[in-house]
Amino acid sequence: MSVMERFIRYLHEQALCQPHERLLLAVSGGKDSVMMTRLFAESGYSVGIAHCNFGLRGAASDADEALVYQLAKSLDVPFYVTRFNTASHARRQGISIQMAARELRYAWFETIRVSQGYDYIAVAQHRNDHVETLMLNLVRGTGLAGLRGIQPRRGRIIRPLLFLNADEIEKYVQQHKLEYRDDASNFSTKYARNKIRMEVIPKLKELNPYLEVTLAKNMAHFSDAYTVIQHYIARLRAQLFHEQNKGEWHIPVDGLVTLDPQQFLLYELFKPFGFTEAVLGDLASSLNGIPGRQFTSPSHVLFMDRGELVLTSMKAIKEATVLMEKIESRVQWGGFRFESHLSSDADINVDAKTAQFDADKIVFPLTIRGWMEGDTFRPLGMKGNKKLSDLFVSLKIPVYRKHSVPVVINGNGDILWVVPHRMDDRYKITGKTKKVLTLACF
């Protein structure tokens, strides 16, 4: 079977794209992407070519761009090019050059795809890249997902050359006399991927000459196993996660305590919500602990309540607003429960989860919401106002947690209580207080 026949079969078997769909080809000028371009063009697909000049190799980068431009011109297909100051982006973001280049190119590819009406972005990674990715993931540490290597399709990105190895690509390019350019950085062992390709894999091939084939089969098995496990996790999540409000789930602790293996299943259950293994390890050791603990990810918060966990999205917390309509009230905000009552007892309660106010100064309804930009109040014991953002800094509350802090607002718009950290000095009880409104948070 010819390479072209195998190519068409792979597109069909993996359901990567249909003949009527438009494809944006990511072409660097290397042999892999040049070969991919030829295969798609000869298959009759409607394609455009996108090229990134990262400005890292001076004249060599410009020569890559010129070659890809000529390729697009010879095929009479649209050509899109951009230039990046990759080194500057890497410094600003505090990331490696390779990571910066990856971020920049994929963001730009997607912009072109959407604006120019392409269905998919095709990237020319092959079986050797597939194997190198597995090795990198193993060295750096990986979950089950990382054992699958590179996936043929992820969202709008397809990888139609994963059925070929580097030797097959080299042979095809030579047979068809395709022009291409080598990137000198691909031969420097200062990069981890190159070190694996040039030093580690040759040693392993001394033990197994067919290493790429063997590992590719293993990754296919890992991928199948991952799919089976994810089906089980989805059913388990449906059993345990009860959505009571939009963006809020209640999870019985008893259902988590009996999980086996617990740490693995906790990680898989909560992985879509951004929780790290370290945080989930802390959660596992706290399942039988005292209510009130919080566990956070960049996008979600887990609140430990009596007999259950409450999972809430940061966005839901930020947007949530709850009213306490009357003096005797009981409401829920996120994972917090608020109760209020009126009394004539003016004795000071030092419990941080309880706030006492001069009832004559309180205007109902009270509002409970998350922090908003520009919020200010007068902390107890101070004469001047303070921004809540400054309070959070002084309390060393991380940025991603500040939206999960409840803020109680008086009916006149003043902040009464930043729970459980500070109440407002203007509403404290004094010797003149006749009635006390007590607000408790659980």
Model confidence pLDDT, tens digit, residues 316-329? 766 678 999 999 98
Picking from 30, 43, 31, the residue whose alpha carbon sits closest to that of residue 3 is 43
DSSP characters for 206-248?
Answer: HH-TTHHHHHHHHHHHHHHHHHHHHHHHHHHHHHH-EEEETTE
pLDDT bin (cut points 50, 70, 90) of residue 350 is: confident
282-289: long-range pairs with CB below 8 Å, 24+: 287/253, 287/256, 287/257, 288/253, 288/257
Taking CA atoms, 206 is separated from 38, 126, 195, in Å, by 34, 22, 16
3-state helix/strand/coil string of 394-430 = HCCCCHHHHHHCCEEECCCCCEEEECCCEEEHHHCCC
Spatial contact of 161 and 32, defined as CB atoms under 8 Å apart: yes
DSSP letter at 197? I
Query: pTM score > 0.75 for this model?
Result: no
Percent of the chain scored above 70 by pLDDT?
A: 98
Q: Give the distance between the most distant pair of CA atoms in the chain.
A: 96
Q: Which domains does the chain have, with CATH numbers?
A: 3-222 (3.40.50.620), 243-315 (no CATH), 320-441 (3.50.40.10)
**Residue-level pLDDT at 318:** 67
pLDDT bin (cut points 50, 70, 90) of residue 16 is: very high
Q: At what angle do helices 262-270 and 277-284 cross, to 10 degrees?
A: 130
Please compute Rg for the chain using Cα positions: 29
Residue 354: other Cβ atoms inside 10 A: 16
Q: What's the rounded mean pLDDT across residues 183-199? A: 85
**Residue-level pLDDT at 415:** 97
Q: What's the rounded mean pLDDT across residues 252-278? A: 94
- Residue with the bigger pLDDT between 204 and 317: it is 204
**Residue-level pLDDT at 399:** 64
End-to-end Cα spacing for the chain:
69
Q: Is the dihedral of CA 269, 270, 276, 281 positive or negative?
A: negative
Q: What's the rounded mean pLDDT across residues 231-260? A: 92
**Residue-level pLDDT at 55:** 85
Percent of the chain scored above 90 by pLDDT?
A: 75
What would the pLDDT profile of 121-180 be if each residue is shown by its tens digit? Answer: 999 999 999 999 999 999 988 888 999 999 999 999 999 999 999 999 999 999 999 999
pLDDT of 400 above 60: no
DSSP letter at 199? I
To the nearest whole number, what is the mean pLDDT of the chain?
Answer: 92
pLDDT of 46 above 90: yes
Token pair of 52 as six digits: 């990134």
